[in-house]
Amino acid sequence: MKAVSFLPLSAFALLLPTASVAADYCAISGVGTFFPPNTVTSTFSSNSWANSSARRVSSDLSSTAMTGIEIRAVDSPVTLYVYSGSELDGDVSAVHCDQGLVCTAHWSATIGSVNCQRDFGHKSVGTMWDLMQNPILPIGDAVTPLAGQLESAAEANYWVEDLKDTRVNFRWRNGRDFDSAFGFTTSWGRRYDDHLHLRLDATIDPNWWAADYDVSIDYWMGPVLDGDSLELWWAGTSINVEEGTLQGLIAETFESEIAAADLQGLINAGIVNAVDEVSFGNSSLVLGGKTRLQLSHVSDFAASGGADWMPWTSTSSTAPDIHLNATRTAN
């Protein structure tokens, strides 16, 4: 990623929009202009929900040389995500523009894909009731127990004497990533089917064996919002063990240990705890009537009253949050 220059936040131009401009957008000089949908409808399936973003992968872009940006955010706050990877992956940076403004900046970078998204954000200023109407769930905290359970399952493997060099990443992915990982045929629209992907990488020291083996476990989930319940539903699991004499035995034992671990129950218990935390123990008030949820790397920009910049960070190491909103149009 070549991020040649970026003006500091104080150098953003924050302009009041004129009535002659009709729609919110993210304009990227040298790349194109992208319009997030204005109508927000409801969650409707296990791994896909109506979103409020315009997503473009590298094959959609006429150029990847960005020289500046302009974000119009009149109907709602708008965030522009730019990625180094061609499929909304790799490193990510974001510029958030608060509602009622047009934000411009000089920003030079070579990018691979973009997402222009309405980030309604958290009502950070107001009554406790306001805070509970549009909460943000720190979903990374909710799945922390799952990472520990995956490690426990690995250590319980009959063929594993010791588990070392453990690394856990929790990522916001999309349907095209999921299809590619499992060898499925994908489509243009699958970029809008959001997934959550937990990956455990480790090196194992097998029992009674001299050579170590590298192993990775990928656990994919999709958020579901149903009445007063928010859950993460399992979408797929893959286990990869380094080639060698014990490869098959280690992989088979991992499969049985993970199947017996009730990871789904553990995940959803973490979700309940996260909801309770942001709702002060009143989860039904937070979730009741909510028919829309949104993944975001933006936690609380809506309180800034201007523009905010999220520095470049790896999508492999930055956990997303989940924003909850009632079904509504952008404004």
Least reliable range by pLDDT among 44-48, 73-77, 146-150, 314-318: 44-48
Which are the contacts of 100, defined by CB distance < 8 A and separation ≥ 6? 16, 17, 73, 74
* Residue 281 located in a structural domain: no
DSSP labels for 8-30?
-GGG-EEEPPPTT--S-EEEEET
Mean pLDDT value across residues 272-295: 68
* Residue 289 located in a structural domain: no
Least Cα distance to 239 among 213, 215, 259 occurs for 215
- Distances in whole angstroms, Cα of residue 267 to Cα of each of 122, 135, 317: 24, 19, 19
Q: Are residues 97 and 168 in the same domain?
A: no
- Count CA atoms closer than 13 A to 29's CA, side-chain side: 10
Report pLDDT for 174.
85
Q: Are residues 146 and 256 in the same domain?
A: yes
The neighbouring-strand residues paired with 132 are: none
Q: Are residues 123 and 152 in the same domain?
A: no
Judged by DSSP in three states, 237 sits in strand
Report pLDDT for 6.
36
The pLDDT confidence band at residue 209, using thresholds 50, 70 and 90, is: confident
Q: Are residues 121 and 148 in the same domain?
A: no
Q: Are residues 116 and 244 in the same domain?
A: no
Q: Are residues 171 and 239 in the same domain?
A: yes
Q: Are residues 217 and 103 in the same domain?
A: no
Q: Is the pLDDT of residue 126 over 80?
A: no
* Residue 64 located in a structural domain: yes
Q: Is the pLDDT of residue 286 over 70?
A: no
State the residue range of the domain holding 107: 3-127+299-313
Q: Is the pLDDT of residue 91 over 70?
A: yes
Q: Is the pLDDT of residue 183 over 90?
A: yes
- Rounded to whole angstroms, the Cα distance separating 182 from 232 reads 19
* Residue 321 located in a structural domain: no
Report pLDDT for 308.
78
Q: Are residues 251 and 306 in the same domain?
A: no
Most confident of 15-24, 92-101, 179-188: 179-188
Average predicted confidence (pLDDT) for the chain: 74
* Residue 132 located in a structural domain: no
* Residue 18 located in a structural domain: yes
Q: Is the pLDDT of residue 142 over 70?
A: no
Q: Are residues 210 and 90 in the same domain?
A: no
Quote the pTM value. Answer: 0.76
Q: Are residues 105 and 156 in the same domain?
A: no
Please tell me the total count of domains within the chain: 2
Report pLDDT for 252.
81
Q: Is the pLDDT of residue 117 over 90?
A: no
Percentage of the residues of the chain whose pLDDT score is greater than 70: 66
* Residue 328 located in a structural domain: no
Q: Are residues 77 and 143 in the same domain?
A: no
* Residue 329 located in a structural domain: no
Least Cα distance to 17 among 107, 95, 78 occurs for 78
The pLDDT confidence band at residue 45, using thresholds 50, 70 and 90, is: very low
Q: Are residues 269 and 203 in the same domain?
A: yes
Report pLDDT for 304.
53
